[in-house]
Structure 1
Amino acid sequence: MSEALSIIIFLSTLFVLLGIGVWVGAALLLTAILGMALFTSAPIGDSMAVTIWGEQSSWTLTALPLFIWMGEILFRSKLSETLFRGLAPFLRRLPGGLLHVNVGASAVFAAISGSSAATVATVGKMSIPELQQRNYPEHMIIGTLSGAGTLGLLIPPSISMIIFGVTVNESISKLFMAAMIPGLCLALMFMIYIVIWAKLNRARFNPVEDLDVSHLGRRVLDLAPVLLLIIGVIGSIYSGIATATEAAALGVLGAILLSLSQRSMTWQSFTDSIMGSVRTTAMIMFILMGAGFLSLAMGFTGIPRALAETIEGWKLSPLALIAILTVFYIILGCFLDGLSSIVLTMAVIEPMVRAAGFDMLWFGVYLMIVVEMAQITPPIGFNLFVLQGMTGRDMGFISKASFPMFLVMCVFVVILVMVPGLATWLPEVLSK
C-alpha cells in the first residue's frame, strides 16, 4: 500500500474521530490500532504495552504533575488579587493604564504555573471585573488577557515545553533557559501594542482611574512571596542547584506555604488542587500514550521517512521551511489544541528540523510561540473558551478582540527567526 494512501487513511480516521467528539488520546490510540492492523503483522497488544511504558516511564515527566499541582494550588489562592493590587500602582501611569496589568500579571503567573488556560483564568477572575468597573474597553480587556495568557506556554516552567523536551530528548533545564528571554520579550511586545493603541485612541479612551495608591510599601511586600517563589523555582534550575523535577517539588512546597500565609488554603481547596492536577496530568498522559503509539504505527508505514524525503526533495531553504511550518501549525491549531499538535507532529517534524540544521532549543521556543497562536485561534482555542465562560460574550467577539495579539505573535516569530540569539544566548552563557 502506497504512502499516500496510508496518509489518507491515518488522517481521515483521526479527523473523523476528533470530529465526532472522541477524546484526543482515545482518537490517537484508535487510529494507531487501525494502522497497526492494516500495515503490519506485529502483535498490537504487545507493541502498545511496550510503547506506552516507554512513553510514560521517563523520569523527566515526573516534573509534569508537580508543576501542574503548583499551578492548581495557586489558582485557588488569593494570588490574582495580590498580583492585581501589587502591579497596578506601578503600571497604571503607562499609556493604556491598567491594561498592562493583564500582561504583567500573566507573565508573573506564567512563571509559577506553566499553563496557559490557568493563567487566563487566574488573572482574569480579578482583572476583568476591576477593568470593566473602570470603563476600559471590553475588547481590549479580553484581547490583552487572551494574548498575554498564552505566555503560560512559553515562560518557564512551561508544561508544553516539558512535553517537547521529553519528545525530542532535549534538556528541560536548557529549554527553560532558552524560553526565558523570548517570553519576556513577547510580554514587552504586548505592552508596546497597548501603548500604541492607547495613543491612537486617546480621544475616546477615558478610563476611570480611582485606584488607591496608598500603602505602596505594603503592596510591594504582598508581591514579595510570589517573586521569591519564582526566583526559587526558576533560579534553582538556572543555577544548576536543582533539576526541573526537584525545582517542581520546591515550587509545590512554596505554593502551599504561600497559600497558608494568605489564609486561602482550606482542606477542601487542598483536595480540589490534588484532584485538579490528577485530572490534568491523566489527560496529558493519555494524549502522550496515543501519540507515542500512533508514531510507532506510522513508522511501520514509512510515512515519516517518505514525508521527510519529499520535503527534502523540494530543496527548501531553512527560512522557507520555517515559513511552511508556521502556516502548518497555525492551520493545525484551528483543529487541535497546542499539546496535541506537539506530540502528534514531532515524529515527522523533528528529523526535518534537525536535517535543516536548526538548534533544537531555538526550535522549541519557536514551536511554543506558534502553538501559543493555537490557544487563541478559533474554533478550538482554549483561551477563547475560558474567556467566553468568564465574560459571557460570543466566540466571534472574543476571536476578533484576540486577533491583534495573534498578529503581535506573528511579528515576534519573524523577530525570533531574524535574531535566533534571543533563544540560544542564555543557555550558552549559563552552560559555560
Structure 2
Amino acid sequence: MTLVLISIVILLLLLLLSVPVASTIAGISIIVGYFFSDYPVFSSIGEITWSVSTDYLLLSIPFFVLLGEILLHSGIAKNIYFALHKWLSWLPGGLLHANIASSAIFSSISGSSVATAATITTVAMPQCEKHGYKEGLFAGTIAAGGTLGILIPPSINLIVYGFLTNTSIPKLFMAGLLPGMLMAILFMLFILVYSLLKKEKEQKEYSVTWKERFIALRDLLPIFILFVLIMGSIYTGIATPTESAALGVLFSLAITYFSGLLNFEVIKKSIKGTMRTTGMIMFIIIAANFLNFVLVSIGLTDDLSDFIEGLAISKYTMLVIVTLLFIVLGLFIETLSLMVITIPIIAPVMITLGFDPIWFGIYLIILIEMALITPPVGLNLYVVQGIRNKGSIIEVMKGCIPFVLIMLLMSILLVFFPEISLYFVNFA
C-alpha cells in the first residue's frame, strides 16, 4: 500500500505542475518500473506501444471522432439544434429542453462529451440572451447535456472501458442506451418541474407553426438514419464497431454533400481535429497500458486484490468506497485519464466480488460523467465558459448542481434496478 500512496502523490504533484496527463502516467510507470520491478520492463515499451497502436478495436476511435468533427464543422449540428428548438420550445423551460435533447442526439453520433458540449454551446448560447434566459442555468444545461456523449452509444469512453477490461463493445453499447435515454429524460423532467414551480415565464414567447415543425423534421431524419445505421449494423452483427464507425463516416460525408455543406475547408478542419483528439487519446491509452504492465510485473494488482479480500467487506460496501473514490478523483483528474489509471486496477477487483462487468462499466461511466461538470477540473465547465466568453464560470457551476444530483440519483437507481442497463443486453 505504501507504493500505491507514493504513486498517487507523484501523480497529483505532476498534475498540479500542469504536466500533460499522458506524460505523467508514463513518468510514474518509468519511476515505479525502475525502482521496484525485478523484470526488464523497459524492453517491453516498444511491443506494448505497437500492440496498442495496431489494435483493430481502437481503430474505431478516430472514425467516431471524425464523424463528430464532420457534423460539427459542416453545420449539420446547428440544423439539429434549431429543428429541436421548433419542436420543444413550447414546453415550460423552452430552449433548455432543446439544449438537452440536441446534446443527446449529437451524443448518439459523436461519442464525445467535450465535442458535444462545444458544438451545442456554439449554436445555443446566442439564443440565450435573444430569448431572455438566465445564463447560469442555460449554460448548465449545455454542460450537463454534453456529458451524455460518453454514455449514449457510440461512446469513445465505453470503447476504452471495453478495451481495458476485455468486455464486449456491442454489449456495452446496448447497456448504455437505456440509461442514457433515461438520464436525458430526468434532466428534462427537472427542467419542466423547475420551470413550473418558478411560476414565471422567464423566456420570451417563441411561436412556431406546425408546418414549420414538420419541415424541420428533414434536418433530423438523416441523423436518425445515421444512428440506426451505426447501432443497427453493430447490434445485428453485420459490422464490428470499427466497421460501423467507418460506415458512419461515409454516410456523414454523403449527408453533408447532398446538403450542400461539404467543402475543402470542412474536410481540412475535420481531419485536423480528428488527428489532434486521436493523438491525445492514443498517447494516454499507450501510457496507461505500460503503467498497467508495470504494476502487474511488480505484483501490485494481486497484492491489492488480496488486501481487499482480507478486509472481508461486502461487495456493496466496496461499491460505496469505489463510488466515493471516483467522485473525489473526478474533482482533480480528467475523465479519460481517470478511466485508464483506475480501471485496470479496480475493475478486476469488482468483477471478482461478483459485479457484472457490463453493469459496472455503465455505473463507472455515470460517475465519470459527474467529473465533467464538477470543479475544479470539470472539462465541460471550461468548454462552455470558454465559448460563452462572458460572465463568471461560477454561474455555469451553479447551473450544473441539479444535474450532478440527478447523476447521483441515476447511479442509485442502477444499483437497485440493474436491469436498467442490462435489459437490452439480456434481451439480445
TM-score range, shorter chain: over 0.9
1:277-336 deviation per Cα after TM superposition (whole angstroms, max 9, x unaligned):
111111111001111111122223332222222222222222222221111111111111
For residues 134-153 of structure 1, the aligned pairs below 5 Å read 134-153=131-150
The amino acid that maps onto 1:399 is M
Determine if contact 1:76/1:264 at 8 Å carries over to the other structure.
no
Candidates 35, 51, 58, aligned match of 2:32? 35
1:46-67 deviation per Cα after TM superposition (whole angstroms, max 9, x unaligned):
1222222233332111111100
Deviation at 1:44, TM superposition (A): 4.2
1:148-193 deviation per Cα after TM superposition (whole angstroms, max 9, x unaligned):
1100000001000000000000111111011001100000000111
- Show the counterpart of 1:313: 310
Identity of matched residues, %: 36
Deviation at 1:97, TM superposition (A): 1.6
- Show the counterpart of 2:278: 281
1:400 aligns to 2:373 (yes or no): no
1:14-54 deviation per Cα after TM superposition (whole angstroms, max 9, x unaligned):
22221111111111111111111101243343122222223
Please give the alpha-carbon distance, in whole angstroms, between the structure 1 residues aligned to 2:45 and 2:78.
Answer: 47
Please give the alpha-carbon distance, in whole angstroms, between the structure 2 residues aligned to 1:395 and 1:140.
Answer: 12
- Show the counterpart of 1:58: 55
**TM-score, normalising length: structure 1:** 0.95
Please give the alpha-carbon distance, in whole angstroms, between the structure 1 residues aligned to 2:225 and 2:16.
Answer: 45
- Report the secondary structure of 1:58's partner residue: coil
- Show the counterpart of 1:209: 205
Determine if contact 2:39/2:297 at 8 Å carries over to the other structure.
no
Please give the alpha-carbon distance, in whole angstroms, between the structure 2 residues aligned to 1:305 and 1:41.
Answer: 16
1:131 aligns to 2:123 (yes or no): no
For residues 147-226 of structure 1, the aligned pairs below 5 Å read 147-203=144-200, 205-213=201-209, 214-226=211-223
- Report the secondary structure of 1:316's partner residue: coil
- Report the secondary structure of 2:426's partner residue: helix
- Show the counterpart of 1:419: 417
The amino acid that maps onto 1:429 is F
Deviation at 1:398, TM superposition (A): 1.6
Deviation at 1:259, TM superposition (A): 1.6
Please give the alpha-carbon distance, in whole angstroms, between the structure 2 residues aligned to 1:80 and 1:209.
Answer: 24
**TM-score, normalising length: structure 2:** 0.96
Please give the alpha-carbon distance, in whole angstroms, between the structure 2 residues aligned to 1:211 and 1:25.
Answer: 50
Determine if contact 1:84/1:126 at 8 Å carries over to the other structure.
yes
Determine if contact 2:137/2:398 at 8 Å carries over to the other structure.
no
- Show the counterpart of 2:333: 336
Please give the alpha-carbon distance, in whole angstroms, between the structure 2 residues aligned to 1:7 and 1:368.
Answer: 24
Deviation at 1:401, TM superposition (A): 1.4
Deviates more, 1:126-135 or 1:361-370: 126-135
- Report the secondary structure of 2:74's partner residue: coil
- Show the counterpart of 1:9: 6
Determine if contact 2:89/2:206 at 8 Å carries over to the other structure.
no
- Show the counterpart of 2:231: 234
1:79 aligns to 2:87 (yes or no): no
The amino acid that maps onto 1:206 is E
1:358 aligns to 2:355 (yes or no): yes
- Show the counterpart of 2:242: 245
1:259 aligns to 2:256 (yes or no): yes
Deviates more, 1:302-311 or 1:248-257: 302-311
Deviation at 1:404, TM superposition (A): 1.0
Please give the alpha-carbon distance, in whole angstroms, between the structure 2 residues aligned to 1:22 and 1:238.
Answer: 40
- Report the secondary structure of 1:215's partner residue: helix
Determine if contact 1:39/1:300 at 8 Å carries over to the other structure.
no
Please give the alpha-carbon distance, in whole angstroms, between the structure 1 residues aligned to 2:51 and 2:170.
Answer: 21
Please give the alpha-carbon distance, in whole angstroms, between the structure 2 residues aligned to 1:211 and 1:156.
Answer: 33
Deviates more, 1:54-63 or 1:113-122: 54-63
Please give the alpha-carbon distance, in whole angstroms, between the structure 2 residues aligned to 1:272 and 1:407.
Answer: 37
Determine if contact 2:135/2:395 at 8 Å carries over to the other structure.
no
- Show the counterpart of 1:112: 109
Candidates 12, 15, 19, aligned match of 1:22? 19
- Report the secondary structure of 1:385's partner residue: helix
- Report the secondary structure of 1:76's partner residue: helix
Deviates more, 1:287-296 or 1:7-16: 7-16
Determine if contact 1:80/1:125 at 8 Å carries over to the other structure.
no
1:304 aligns to 2:267 (yes or no): no
Determine if contact 2:172/2:358 at 8 Å carries over to the other structure.
yes
Determine if contact 2:87/2:213 at 8 Å carries over to the other structure.
no
Determine if contact 1:77/1:262 at 8 Å carries over to the other structure.
no
The amino acid that maps onto 2:400 is S
1:355-413 deviation per Cα after TM superposition (whole angstroms, max 9, x unaligned):
11111111111111100001001111110110111122323222111111111100110
The amino acid that maps onto 2:88 is L
The amino acid that maps onto 2:372 is Q
Determine if contact 1:236/1:247 at 8 Å carries over to the other structure.
yes
Deviation at 1:143, TM superposition (A): 1.3
- Report the secondary structure of 1:170's partner residue: coil
1:332-351 deviation per Cα after TM superposition (whole angstroms, max 9, x unaligned):
11111111111101221022
Please give the alpha-carbon distance, in whole angstroms, between the structure 2 residues aligned to 1:115 and 1:296.
Answer: 27
Determine if contact 1:116/1:149 at 8 Å carries over to the other structure.
yes
- Show the counterpart of 2:426: 428
CA RMSD of aligned residues (A): 1.4
Deviation at 1:199, TM superposition (A): 1.1
Determine if contact 1:376/1:383 at 8 Å carries over to the other structure.
yes
